């Protein structure tokens, strides 16, 4: 008889915990995206995969191909790309950002992340972004690099910045 009582008590306890957890309020996240560096892994072909996680309180991360009006459309608009990876080198013990000039044929490490769509009634999003970087280092006299990463949502809210780990050039 004691065994049955314990099973009933355990079942009621689990049901109570489950019921109370359904009553908890949704997390209150800021409208600005929050990002966190996860990894920058070297692939067998020499490319790298950059992975960051994100949360966004108002759920408007990502750009669709239909985002064809300013400030997202024109290739030289500041917000045409919503994920910016700024290239930095460790020079004489100090991180120095290397600005790339598209007019000179240099291609910045900027990307258009597609939209993530919230499910349910809560607009908040959380997820992971993975970027394949076929080219990821520049030729120079310095051997160490990292990327400073920022994400912009459709409302032009800027995320915090995060950094990859230090990476030695090939």
93 lies in some domain: yes
9 lies in some domain: no
- The domain tally of the chain equals 1
Range of the domain at 136: 29-168
In CATH, what number is assigned to the domain containing residue 123?
A: 2.60.40
Q: 77-135, pLDDT tens digit by residue?
A: 788 889 999 999 999 999 999 999 888 888 899 999 999 887 777 888 899 999 999 99
For the chain, give the number of residues.
170
85 lies in some domain: yes
Please give the mean pLDDT across all residues of the chain. Answer: 83
Q: What is the distance, to the nearest Å, from the Cα of residue 74 to the centroid of all Cα atoms in its chain?
A: 23
pLDDT at residue 39 in the model:
98
Reported pTM: 0.79
Q: 132-143, pLDDT tens digit by residue?
A: 999 999 889 999
For CA atoms 48, 49, 53, 57, the dihedral sign is positive
Q: 18-39, pLDDT tens digit by residue?
A: 444 444 445 577 889 999 999 9
């Amino acid at each position: 008889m004691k065994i049955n009582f314990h099973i009933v008590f355990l079942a009621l306890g689990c049901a109570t915990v489950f019921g109370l957890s359904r009553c908890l309020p949704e997390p209150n996240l800021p409208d600005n995206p929050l990002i966190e560096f996860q990894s920058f892994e070297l692939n067998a072909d020499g490319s790298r995969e950059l992975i960051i996680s994100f949360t966004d309180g108002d759920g408007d991360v990502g750009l669709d191909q239909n985002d064809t009006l300013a400030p997202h459309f024109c290739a030289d608009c500041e917000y045409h790309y919503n994920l910016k990876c700024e290239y930095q080198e460790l020079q004489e013990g100090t991180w120095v950002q290397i600005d790339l000039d598209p007019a000179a044929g240099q291609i910045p490490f900027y990307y258009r992340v597609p939209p993530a769509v919230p499910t349910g009634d809560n607009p908040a999003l959380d997820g992971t972004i993975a970027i394949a970087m076929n080219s990821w280092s520049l030729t120079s006299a310095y051997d160490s690099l990292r990327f400073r990463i920022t994400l912009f949502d459709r409302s032009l809210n800027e995320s915090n910045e995060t950094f990859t780990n230090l990476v030695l050039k090939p």
